[in-house]
Structure 1
Amino acid sequence: MEPTTIREGYLVKKGTVLNSWKAVWVVLKDDAIEFFKKKTDRNAKGMIPLKGATLTSPCQDFSKRALVFKVSTAKNQDHYFQATHLEEREHWVKDIRRAITCLQGGKKFARKSTRRSIRLPESVNLSELYVCMKDPDRGVKELKLEKDKRLFNHCFTGSTVIDWLISEEKSRNRTEAVMLASGLLNEGFLQPAGDTSKDGAEKGAESVFLDQTEAFYYFADSGFFCEGYSSDEDVIMKEEFRGAIVKQGCLLKQGHRRKNWKVRKFILRDDPAYIHYYDPSKGEDDPLGSIHLRGSVVTAVEFVPDAKRHEVDGNLFEIITSDEIHYYLQAATADERKDWIRAVQSVAKSGK
């Protein structure tokens, strides 16, 4: 029988020979992971057998790269993949882990129930856990983070804390880790920094800690401080990033000059209404460009000049800005195209 395709999409992969990271089209089958240079390629660039493989997630081998997971083969070959956002990584990790488990048991792939069991110990020593988190070598790293024209010194993101708790085997899944982190927050070991984490802490729910890259926290006895900044050059650019993230993920984009198509990570924000695009292999420090969506029109299209010459066909859509600049994009599937069009239309109407 032919292997069954379980999941497919764009991920960033670290080269096995060179240390460069590149966006590739990844196909998860029930017995292997195949990756292609382009979605339309028939021959895979490589194949990772899953029999006897192990999965590490979160993988914290790269301090400057988040959302990485590692697949190690039975022959001790390590393959590193990076997702564009947390939800995407968790979907891939869950399916790969399940595929490995099914192979080991000689069973056909089938997804488990989405319900997650929570089995935390009746008593948890939060003081000891806090000391481990602050360990300079193996603990949570304190960083300088930027948001809303402010610099947050000696802090870290909520997702970083959850990743650490899982990687250090303090919890079995993200649900348990959020409950532990909420306990640390409620007891004052962790403190919220910035509006997002403060809003979460004030909700009064059972889990007040936010497993988000937008939520910042710091150690209660650290040297945390926040500073604002502004200059004539950065005010306009920083204003673009103020809005909440509505949707994010990888799409193919046609270049304006050379008309070639490349994989780009897109982040759609609501207010101000902007969509920024990045090279997914290089992170989110500097966008390659941005599209102001206020007053723009987005529609599905069936034909784009020169697209077929680059083997790009199907699931195409177009954004026309109020300045009549045309952007041509391709989604991985028809449903994904619908989701992107719906999201962009909503932001274009309501955002500033």
Structure 2
Amino acid sequence: MPRRTATLLTSTLLLIGLLCAGVLIHVPYAEMSPGPTVNTLGEHDGEPVLNIKGEETYETSGHLNMTTVRVTGVSYRMNLLEAVYGWLSDDSAVVPYESLYPDDVSADQVEEQNAEEFTASQESAKVAALEELGYEVGSQTIVAAVVVDGPAEGRLHAGDAIVAVDGTEVTEPGQVADLVTEREPGEDVVFTVVPAEEAQAALEAGEELPGGTEDVTVTTEPAPDDQRAIVGIQAGVSHSFPFEIEIELADVGGPSAGLMFALGLIDRLTEDDLTDGAFVAGTGTIDAEGTVGPIGGVSQKTIAARDAGADFFLTPEENCAVAALDVPEGLTLLSVGTLDDALDALAGIREGDTSDLPRCEAR
């Protein structure tokens, strides 16, 4: 066999071997890439994203798009060839697998957590938007969940309104854990509660909690990680709204659409058109007070926004430094830290004067 032919054959076999190895060798990484965007002012799968009943709504123009990131599934293991392709791609990010799916969390738990965060983001968006518009929103601190086989199982129930702990009035969920951990493991804690059914009825009627409270004594136990006193509940907040709001968006998880939901609700509930026809996208968590928080995958979300046609992207200020490292051509990144910041940004866009709005800058 001629030397040139032998060399070519050897090189070809080596290349085939490397390609086979690249396909067969799995690596501990996952891939993030731009996901779909959805206009919160429009429809998704034939249904309005924001379905408001019992209150007057107004026509809107333009876009207020929420953005998403597509990630490889929890059961999928990338091979070496896919990882190299992802590293070389401008649109994707290859990240350690455990950063998305920790070893101590099952696939079902990941899905459940994403669904819970998405539901909580909707609730916070409703509260922030309605209070921004001057509506009254009722709230109660409640037992959000009871740990199976925990000390409180059978004594406290999901939906019970927590009025006081050991005689100290409770006005927000964070107080509950603080008051419980003042005890030593093995000591009793007295919860003053209104049973779930009565509490919910009062909330829906816009009334104060009824006076028929119950005192429930729960014996604490040590937490497995740091031995602090716990009773095995998760405290949360339940809200009542002056009219019905449903957010119809399936197959989306996590908390990062909160800001855009809040803006969409404000636009639908006010006569002024917030965008005046502009295409604005964005991301960010939001709490009931209107504070905008950081999210993951911001670079992939800016790419998704620009691919969808957005000209402006509302960016959580804590994500700005990373987002500004590689800005898609034609997209302006505006920094927002609160719902009011986002409304100011929309006012500037609407009026055609964005020169004084804070932009994202790389550091």
User: So what's the TM-score if we normalise by structure 2?
Assistant: 0.21
Q: Which has the higher strand share?
A: 1
Q: Which has the higher helix share?
A: 2
Q: Which has the larger radius of gyration?
A: 2
Structure number with greater CO (CA < 8 Å, separation at least 6) is 2
